Amino acid sequence: MKKIILTCSMLLAFAAAGGQQVVTLWQCYDAAAAATPLAKERDIYTELSSLRDQNLSASYLPGMDINGSYAYYSDIPDIEAVYGSLPIPPGTAPAIPHQFYKATLDISQVIWDGGVTRSAREVEEVIRELNMKQNEAAIYQLHDQINSYYFSMLLAASQAEVTGVLISELDARMKEALSGVRNGVVPQVTVDILNAEKIKAEQMLVEIRHRHDAFRKALGQITGMTFAGDDAFLLPEPVITGEETIDNPDIRLFDVRKRQLGATMNLLKSQRMPKAFGFAQAGYGLPPGNNFFSEVPDPYYSVGVGIKWTIFDWNKTSNERKYVTLQQQLLDINKSATEESLQRVLTVKMAEIEALREAGGRDEELIMIRQKIAAVSASQLKNGTITASEYLTELNGEKQTVISAAVRKINIARAEVEYINITGINK
């Protein structure tokens, strides 16, 4: 690990001195997370949660309403007829007016809501966290696209490097062959065969460079980064053991959803608790308050407290709690199934990594053998003891071995990165 860090530091220092940018896969992950439009969701979710929390907090603030009404009744009670034979002098009984009107200021105050507001705020907080985790999981999915562009670019760069060396070697053999043609010891067809192979390699190099540029541009678009043609893209070297636990954003979502259901259960419980409230009313009207015998409008007021407790709701709350419990059970089952599925994927991925590592263990040895064979063939071609076609067979064999080793190394790194992306471990 120290060796890797030291190597990276030296590369960074060299790049800084030469104006070259050194890019890592992890930098691309972070840049993409910041550049994606999905990143704006987090601020919106925070604002939405803040607004809903403010509304919930307002539940304990007094409510104030202004009301007014007017009514005219054509028929009213005859007070003297109602009194009947009571010893009341005629004309002294109060008259009930035909019209009624009032204007009131009504104030209500929650004293205790059974914990509904507290539970609702708990639910809201978990919802905010759930939205954040969903956003995190969506951004995490960008890693697959970034991996595709990044490793395809590394592969193209490796192929371009080997193809460039191939062209240089073909060019060197052509110069030797031309000298032999002038001296009459090498036929012209040898030069033609080498030149045809060189042209084919140059064509291949053009295609490879175009692919490399396309992947680099795509990587720049998804990350928001600007890359130059001479930037160095480092091959990732993650450290894995095969014993890692799975804790990626998708798995963490299950835990947050579980907490959301728990908060919902608490809210259902609090809704069945008794509620206490206070009220006050100040008004002006005719009749004033409950004084129906008043013949003139007057101001009035009333104050009081109340309690509300739903003792039976036809099992509605009970059924809702059972519903939440079943959802919790389903969530546990789905989480377990997802973890088992991902664990199987990790098992296969680890086997792939081990197979690639074992196969690549002798790549250097094979390359050295192929290089020796190619060098001998080059000497034989120069001496005219083998044909150009025979030489090209050995040269292409050497370059194919080099490319295969590079591809295997890149595939190992990609498989390791895919492994840690599945686990969600810290890079």
> CATH no. for residue 46?
1.20.1600.10
The domain total for the chain is 1
The neighbouring-strand residues paired with 276 are 112, 307
8 domain-assigned: no
Candidates 153, 45, 150; CA nearest to 421 is 150
Angle at 290 between CA 289 and CA 296, to 5 degrees: 65
Model confidence at 417: pLDDT above 60: yes
Region 294-305 average pLDDT: 88
Positive or negative, the CA dihedral 382, 384, 389, 393 is: negative
Q: Are 111 and 276 in contact (CB under 8 A)?
A: yes
| 3-class state of residue 16 by DSSP | helix
Model confidence at 81: pLDDT above 80: no
Say how far apart CA 321 and CA 309 lie, in whole Å: 19
End-to-end CA distance of the chain: 13
Say how far apart CA 352 and CA 106 lie, in whole Å: 74
Structure confidence by residue, pLDDT tens digits, 342-381 = 999 999 999 999 999 999 999 999 999 999 999 999 999 9
139 domain-assigned: yes
Positive or negative, the CA dihedral 367, 371, 372, 373 is: positive
Model confidence at 70: pLDDT above 50: yes
pTM of the model: 0.82
Provide the residue range defining the domain that includes 402: 25-73+97-423
352 domain-assigned: yes
To which residue do tokens 């895919």 refer?
A: 418
Return the structure tokens found at 185.
């010891």
Name the band, by pLDDT with cuts 50, 70 and 90, for residue 79: low
pLDDT the model gives residue 15: 42
42 domain-assigned: yes
Structure confidence by residue, pLDDT tens digits, 92-122 = 566 677 788 899 999 999 999 999 999 999 9
Q: Are 275 and 114 in contact (CB under 8 A)?
A: yes
Region 257-282 average pLDDT: 94
Identity at 168, one-letter amino acid code: S
Region 115-132 average pLDDT: 94
Model confidence at 57: pLDDT above 90: no
Say how far apart CA 360 and CA 413 lie, in whole Å: 12
Positive or negative, the CA dihedral 90, 92, 94, 96 is: positive
Residue 58 exposure: Cα atoms within 13 Å on the Cβ side: 8
Phi/psi at 382 (5° precision): -60, -35
Positive or negative, the CA dihedral 152, 155, 157, 159 is: negative
pLDDT the model gives residue 59: 86
pLDDT the model gives residue 87: 59
203 domain-assigned: yes
Name the band, by pLDDT with cuts 50, 70 and 90, for residue 14: very low
Average pLDDT value over all residues in the chain: 89
16 domain-assigned: no
Name the band, by pLDDT with cuts 50, 70 and 90, for residue 23: very high
Report H helices in 19-115: 25-35, 40-57, 79-83
Say how far apart CA 261 and CA 327 lie, in whole Å: 8
pLDDT the model gives residue 80: 61
| 3-class state of residue 23 by DSSP | strand
Report H helices in 183-248: 188-223
DSSP 282: E
